[in-house]
Amino acid sequence: MRQSAEKRGSILDGACGFQGGNFVVTGASGYLGRRICESLLQSKARKVLAIDTRAPVDPLPEGVAFLYADILDLRTLTQRFHGSDAVLHVASYGMSGKEMLNRKKTREINVLGTRNVIAACIAAGVARLVYTSTYNVVFGGVPISNGSELLPYYPAEKHVDEYSASKTVAEQLVLSANGAYLPEGSSGSYPQRQLATCAIRSAAIYGEGEERHFPRIVRSMNRGLFCITIGDPSSKVDWVHVDNLVHAHLKACQHLLAPLSASRLPGGPRSAQSAHGVAAGQAYFISDGAPVNNFQFLRGVSDALGVRFPAVAAPVWAMITLAWCIEIVWQVLSAAGIEFNPLITRAEVLKVGVTHYFSTAKAKAELGYDPPVSPSEGQRRLVEDILHKEERQKALLQAQRTVSGSTLGGFLSVQRPHLVWWMAVLSGMALLALCACGPTPLPGDTGSTSLGSFAANARRHRQHFAGIVCG
C-alpha cells in the first residue's frame, strides 16, 4: 500500500528547519525529486520550484510550482534561482537501460548541466547546493567492503559507462565550488557571502512507486528471464529506501548552514571556506545500512510473484562478455534507427555482481542521519506495491480481452513479449559462446565497443578481472 505524502512527511520531521524558505529541485518529475518536493512542503517550506524537462506523471502536490526547463539553459536557471535559499540538484541522465548507452547526452546533462546549476547558484546568490551523487564515483568494479568517504575517486576515464564517469566529474565540480563567493546583496532568507555545497552518494533506490529499476526487474521476472543470478552468492551491495534518501538530502541541506560540531569523524579534507556548515564541501554515503546479496534482496519480489528463484549463478566475467555483446548490437541497431532496452549492460553487471557497500557512520555523526524506514519495513512496502500494480495490470489485460473478444489476440498480446525476449536471450547466448575464449571488456577499458577493440583486448582482460574479483 502506497504511503500518503502526509504520512511520509511525518517520518521526515527530523529534517526540519525549512519553514518559510524558498527551494528549487531539479529533476523534480523523477521518483526522488518528487518525494523531495513533497517533504520540503511537509517541512513548511514557503515555496518549492520543481524543474524538469518532462511533465510529472502525476500532479505535483499543491504548493509546488512546476517549471518546464532544461538544466542546459543557463539563462533560465539563473533567472528562476533568484530568491531561493537552496537548490537540490537531483536531475541526471543515463542511470540504466538504453539511456546508459547514450554517451553524448549522458555527459552533456550530467556534466554541462551541473556546471550550469553551479553557475546559476553563484550568479543568483543561492547559499546552498545539495547534489545527488552515486556510489559509482568510487566504485568501478573492484570489490569494496564497508568503504568510507576517505576512498579516492575511481578514475573517470576507466569507467565502463558514461553515467559513472560523468557523475564522478560532476561531483568534483560541485564540491570544488564550495566556498565560491556570492555577489553583493545575495537573495534568500539566509544572506551569506559564500556558496555551501555537498554531495549525497546514494545506493540503489527502492520503494513504493519506484519507476526505473523495479519495473524492468518485474518485467524480466514475468517474461521468464529471471533464470540466473550474477556473481558470487556471498557478494553484497547496499540499497536505500526512498524515504531514507529524502531524509538524508534534507539533513544535508539543513547542515550546510549548521554550526560546526566540536568533534567530527574524519571523512576527507575540509577547506577554511567550509566554516559555515558541517556538511559544506563534504560527500556522504547513504543507504539503509544493511548490506545484502543483490539477488537475495530481490527474492522477496520473486517469491511474491510466484517466480522460482534461480539455482544457477553466472560468473561476472561471462555476464560482462554477454553485456558487451548486447552493447555492440545496440550500437549497430541504434545507428540504423532501431532502439531497444538492453537486457543488461556492463555497468549493471558490476553493480549487481560485485561486492560494494559503504559505512553511513559519517552521515550519522555529522548530519544526524537516522533512517526512518527499516530494511524489513521497506521490503514489505515494496512487495505490497508491486503486487498491487500486478493486480491492476492483470485486471486491465482481462478487460482488454473481454472488449476485443479475441482469444487469439489475447494470446498474442501476452505471449509475444516472451517470445521476443527469449529470442534476444538466445542470440546473446550464441554471441557469448563465440566470445567465451575471447576478450572481456572490463573496468579500465576506454568504453569503446567497436569490433576491432573487442578483438584486440582478448583474454588479457578476462584474466585481469578474474584476478580482481576472485582474488
The catalytically annotated residue of 93, 154, 163, 357 is: 163
Asked if 330 and 340 touch (Cβ cutoff 8 Å), the reply is: yes
Cell matching residue 176: 570544488
- At 139, the amino acid letter reads F
Closest listed residue to residue 177, CA positions, set 199, 155, 158: 199
Asked if 86 and 43 touch (Cβ cutoff 8 Å), the reply is: no
Give catalytic status of residue 163 as yes or no.
Answer: yes
User: Residue 340, Cβ neighbours under 10 Å: how many?
Assistant: 14
Sign of the C-alpha dihedral, residues 215, 219, 225, 228?
positive
Closest listed residue to residue 375, CA positions, set 201, 241, 213: 241
DSSP output for 74-143? HHHHHHHHTT-SEEEE-----SSGGGGG-HHHHHIIIIIHHHHHHHHHHHHT--EEEEEEEGGGT-SSS-
Rg, C-alpha atoms of the chain? 23
Alpha carbon distance 143, 376 (integer Å): 26
Q: Is 396 exposed, middle or buried (0-12, 13-18, 19+ CB in 10 A)?
A: exposed
Separation in Å, CA 188 to CA 156, 191, 225 = 35, 6, 52
Cell matching residue 257: 548552514
Alpha carbon distance 385, 392 (integer Å): 11
196-202/229-230 β-pairing: unpaired
* 152 Cβ contact partners less than 8 Å away, ≥ 6 residues apart: 138
Asked if 5 and 42 touch (Cβ cutoff 8 Å), the reply is: yes
What are the two backbone dihedrals, phi and then psi, of residue 334, each rounded to the nearest 5 degrees?
-65, -30
What are the two backbone dihedrals, phi and then psi, of residue 217, each rounded to the nearest 5 degrees?
-65, -45
Alpha carbon distance 32, 41 (integer Å): 15
Half-sphere exposure of 161 (CA within 13 A, CB side): 32
What are the two backbone dihedrals, phi and then psi, of residue 469, each rounded to the nearest 5 degrees?
-75, -40
Please identify every residue annotated as catalytic: 163
